[in-house]
C-alpha cells in the first residue's frame, strides 16, 4: 500500500507552515525583548537580528564592566590597609578597616561605626540588620573627618539581652572586629 502523494505534500506544507509560524513567534518574542529606536518603518528580519545581536553584546560588555568593578570593590573591602591615590590633591589616602562598638543601655542600643570613605555600605547594612531584628531606630547620624566616617545609631530593642546578642552576632558577620560594652 502506497500513500497518496498529494497527502504527503499536504503534510509537508502543514509542517512547513507550522515551522514558519513558530519562527515568526520566536522573532516577535526576541523583538519584544530588545529596545527599539522609534521608527515608522518596521525593520527587516536581518536588521532585527543584527539589532538583537548588538544589544546582547552591549549587555555582555556592561556585565563584564560591572564584574570588574565588583572585583575591585571586593578587593578593597578585603584589604583593610591599602592606600588609594586621591586625584584631587595627589596625596595618599588610607582605606580604613571598619570598626564597630555596641553599647547597651537598658533597652537602648548605641552603635558606633567607624569606616573609611570606601565602606559607606556598612551603615546601610547596620540599619538593615536592626530593622530585620525588630529594633526601632531612634536616631542615626554621621560625621566625616578627613577620610574617616563616624556613624552613630541609637535604637530601641526588646527588654531581654537575647536581642542584643543576636544583633551583635549579625553585625560581626560584616564587621571583623566588634566590641560590646554594657553600661548600667
Helix (H), strand (E), coil (C) string for 116-163 = EHHHCHHHHHHHHHHHHCCCEEEEEEEEEECCEEEEEEEEECCCCHHH
pTM: 0.44
By DSSP bridging, strand 148-156 and strand 91-94 are: unpaired
181, containing H or E segment: strand 178-182
Helix, strand or coil, per DSSP, at residue 47: helix
Domains of the chain: residue spans and CATH = 5-76 (4.10.280.10), 93-182 (3.30.70.260)
pLDDT by residue for the chain (184 residues), tens digit each? 556 767 788 899 999 999 999 999 998 888 888 887 666 677 788 888 898 999 999 999 999 999 888 887 777 655 544 444 444 444 444 456 778 888 888 778 888 888 887 776 788 888 888 888 888 889 998 888 888 889 999 988 876 666 777 777 787 676 654 444 444 3
Amino acid at each position: 500500500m502506497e500513500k497518496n502523494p498529494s497527502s504527503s505534500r499536504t503534510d509537508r506544507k502543514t509542517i512547513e507552515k507550522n515551522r514558519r509560524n513558530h519562527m515568526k513567534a520566536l522573532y516577535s518574542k526576541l523583538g519584544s525583548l530588545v529596545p527599539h529606536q522609534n521608527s515608522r518603518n518596521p525593520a527587516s528580519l536581518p536588521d532585527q537580528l543584527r539589532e538583537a545581536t548588538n544589544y546582547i553584546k552591549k549587555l555582555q560588555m556592561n556585565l563584564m564592566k560591572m564584574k570588574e568593578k565588583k572585583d575591585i570593590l571586593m578587593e578593597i573591602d578585603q584589604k583593610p590597609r591599602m592606600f588609594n591615590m586621591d586625584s584631587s590633591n595627589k596625596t595618599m589616602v588610607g582605606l580604613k578597616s571598619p570598626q564597630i562598638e555596641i553599647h547597651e543601655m537598658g533597652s537602648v542600643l548605641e552603635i558606633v561605626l567607624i569606616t573609611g570613605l570606601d565602606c559607606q555600605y556598612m551603615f546601610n547594612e547596620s540599619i538593615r540588620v536592626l530593622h530585620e531584628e525588630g529594633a526601632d531606630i531612634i536616631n542615626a547620624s554621621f560625621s566625616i573627618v578627613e577620610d574617616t566616617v563616624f556613624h552613630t545609631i541609637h535604637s530601641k530593642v526588646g527588654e531581654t539581652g537575647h536581642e542584643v546578642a543576636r544583633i551583635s552576632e549579625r553585625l560581626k558577620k560584616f564587621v571583623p572586629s566588634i566590641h560590646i560594652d554594657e553600661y548600667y
